């Protein structure tokens, strides 16, 4: 299968198993079912990247099947991109699609990299705020803090919360931002939102206000080819 969005093209396996999403589920398991959510996240990612200078190194800690990685290289073609995903299949997909990048297959909690990235991107699976509060992501946050990046970029799609009843997306992202700043001393620079997808860009620096960036969704197109992977 080939997935196209904007200027980017990703080659994914023809056969992709689907399953219920939990905090460790591989991106490949939900790529087709949640294509529109992924498209919204990609749109928000493009918008928020306009707000940072040109980074030399980006570390995509939970790189999944590489949608975010493709966006980073599309916006910053000279970038050194470091990718990691715990899932073996995602790792295979990343190795195939990013032959020029450093690709790791490690637990984000344990990973060590030798360089200091300008930006660390963490695309946690569902229920980000809920899981933060449960302490599920603490070890990963400790690990990232020890790397000392200038920017942290987090994302989450609130589609799951929406499914379970009344839910206000803006409120959710405000709460997520507030939690990140209170618990981790991170200061929110901006929030890019499209529908239920949003990205929160933070750094250790006092800035006076949250700026909401306008985003538009990017449409994924799937093409079927035989013999990939």
Interface residues toward ligand SAM, by CB under 6 A:
24, 26-27, 62-68, 84-87, 90, 107-109, 123, 125
User: Residue with the closest Cβ to ligand SAM?
Assistant: 64
Which one, 107 or 133, has the nearer CB to ligand SAM?
Answer: 107
Shortest gap between Cβ of 103 and ligand SAM (angstroms)?
12
At 211, phi and psi to the nearest 5?
Answer: -105, 130
Kindly tell me the burial class for residue 179, based on how many C-beta atoms sit within 10 Å of its own C-beta (0-12, 13-18, 19 or more). Answer: middle
DSSP 103: E
Q: Are 24 and 50 in contact (CB under 8 A)?
A: no
Shortest gap between Cβ of 51 and ligand SAM (angstroms)?
19
Which one, 52 or 197, has the nearer CB to ligand SAM?
Answer: 197
Which one, 113 or 187, has the nearer CB to ligand SAM?
Answer: 113
How many CA atoms lie within 13 Å of 83's alpha carbon, on the beta-carbon side?
29
Q: How far is 24 from 83, CA to CA, in rounded Å?
A: 17
Q: Are 213 and 191 in contact (CB under 8 A)?
A: yes
Shortest gap between Cβ of 176 and ligand SAM (angstroms)?
15
Shortest gap between Cβ of 140 and ligand SAM (angstroms)?
6
Shortest gap between Cβ of 188 and ligand SAM (angstroms)?
20
Which one, 52 or 124, has the nearer CB to ligand SAM?
Answer: 124
Give the position of tokens 């699976």. Answer: 125
Identify how many contiguous H helices and E strands the chain contains and give both numbers.
7, 11
Which one, 125 or 215, has the nearer CB to ligand SAM?
Answer: 125
Shortest gap between Cβ of 193 and ligand SAM (angstroms)?
17
Pseudo-torsion of CA 113, 8, 173, 54, nearest 10°? 60
Q: How far is 4 from 2, CA to CA, in rounded Å?
A: 6
Which one, 13 or 187, has the nearer CB to ligand SAM?
Answer: 13
Shortest gap between Cβ of 206 and ligand SAM (angstroms)?
29
Which one, 107 or 205, has the nearer CB to ligand SAM?
Answer: 107
Give the position of tokens 């705020």. Answer: 129
Give the position of tokens 């929110």. Answer: 188
């Amino acid at each position: 299968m080939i997935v196209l969005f904007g200027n980017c093209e990703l080659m994914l396996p023809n056969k992709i198993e689907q399953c219920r999403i939990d905090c460790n589920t591989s991106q490949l398991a939900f790529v087709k079912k949640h294509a529109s959510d992924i498209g919204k996240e990609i749109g928000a990612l493009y918008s928020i990247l306009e707000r940072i200078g040109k980074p030399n190194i980006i570390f995509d800690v939970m790189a999944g099947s590489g949608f975010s990685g493709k966006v980073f290289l599309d916006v910053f073609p000279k970038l050194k991109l470091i990718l990691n995903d715990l899932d073996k299949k995602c790792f295979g997909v990343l190795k195939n699609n990013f032959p020029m990048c450093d690709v790791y297959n490690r637990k984000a909690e344990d990973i060590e990299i030798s360089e200091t990235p300008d930006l660390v991107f963490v695309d946690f699976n569902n229920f980000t705020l809920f899981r933060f509060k449960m302490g599920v992501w603490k070890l990963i946050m400790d690990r990232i803090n020890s790397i000392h990046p200038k920017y942290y970029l987090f994302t989450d799609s609130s589609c799951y919360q929406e499914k379970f009843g009344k839910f206000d997306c803006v409120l959710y992202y405000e709460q997520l931002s507030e939690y990140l700043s209170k618990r981790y001393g991170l200061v929110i620079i901006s929030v890019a939102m499209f529908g239920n997808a949003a990205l929160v860009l933070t750094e250790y620096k006092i800035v006076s206000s949250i700026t909401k960036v306008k985003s538009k969704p990017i449409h994924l197109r799937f093409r079927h080819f035989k013999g990939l992977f």
